[in-house]
Amino acid sequence: MPELPDVTIYVERLRAHCAGRKLLRARLAGPVLLRTVDPPLAAVEGREVRDVRRLGKRIVFGFDEDLFLVFHLMIAGRFRWRPQGTKVPGKVGHAAFDFETGTLLLTEASSKKRAMLHVLRGEPALAQHDPGGLEVFETDLAGFSARLRLENRTLKRALTDPRILSGIGNAYSDEILHAAKLSPVKLTQKLDDAELARLFEATRETLERFTATIRAEVGEGFPEKVTAFRPDMAVHGRHREPCPVCGAPVQRIVHAENESNYCPKCQTGGKLLADRALSQLLKKDWPRTLEELEARMRDS
């Protein structure tokens, strides 16, 4: 799922391509994408885009008369900028939005069509789509700490809960926790002040760094390779690869459709976190430390 760095760059480039220009026509490939009926999608046709902004992980196009298009790309939704009139691609195509200067395509390379579009009227209606998460670049350490300590959650769940923090998902939470040298399963109310300060700085630095990297890659163009797996990531998507800090093999725990990637030496004091399914299967044979795991790999 595109997270804060990717969504920020989408917003910047969409603003450059679309703001101040009329949406001439909206073409839907099917009924799955659009989740509202009033106002109709046709209500924004012929209107000028006044602004493009981020709302959590959502992207909002603002028009006059308080009309909004709200896109939630979910896991596999992506935007493509193409010459005006480009057809909606078959199978992966959701919609095309024709502007005077080109066509914005929305695609989703997944059999589970989860991407969503809402047409809304008025700021109160738009506010209902805001999960309420704290914007980490609009708060200080005290505000960040207070929000995290409201509930006793694991750090992984707290960072990725859109009601707690805005725009952070599975990929960048792994990178943040590695930078902060904190376990993904440590509880928020167990953090001391020094750990909270470290986490706050790591969150801001990680998001800022990746946003700047993606911005430099895209330049004046349009983001075409939005992915949750980047070669400059330390742990996310790098299971069994060496940690760039200490060289220990990156480990992971899998839960539902998500996973947590971490370095045992940097983040958990050498302890291996229990993957629920595997640890239940292996029981006493589950290795408890990185040393036990490495010994078993040598013996196998």
Ordered per-residue pLDDT tens for the chain, 300 residues: 899 999 999 999 999 999 999 999 999 999 999 999 999 999 999 999 999 999 999 999 999 999 999 999 999 999 999 999 999 999 999 999 999 999 999 999 988 899 999 999 999 999 999 999 999 999 999 999 999 999 999 999 999 999 999 999 999 999 999 999 999 999 999 999 999 999 999 999 999 999 999 999 999 999 999 999 999 999 999 999 999 999 999 999 987 667 899 999 999 999 999 865 444 444 454 455 655 545 444 444
Angstrom distances, CA of residue 3 to CA of 60, 140, 172: 15, 21, 8
DSSP alpha helices (H): ranges in the chain?
4-18, 123-127, 141-148, 155-160, 170-180, 193-218, 264-267, 276-282, 290-299
**3-class DSSP assignment, residue 127:** helix
Distance CA 39, CA 66 (A): 11
**DSSP line for 234-262:** SSTT-TTSBPTTT-PBPEEEEETTEEEEE
Domain shared by 204 and 140, yes or no: yes
- Domain closes at, from 82, 107, 127: 127
Angle between helices 193-218 and 170-180 (to 10 degrees): 130
CATH at residue 173: 1.10.8.50
End-of-domain residue from the set 127, 152, 186: 127
Q: Are 71 and 150 in the same domain?
A: no
**pTM, 2 dp:** 0.91
Judgement on whether residues 109 and 144 belong to the same structural domain of the protein: no
Taking the C-alpha atoms of residue 37 and residue 4, their distance in angstroms, rounded to an integer, is: 29
CATH of the domain at 59: 3.20.190.10
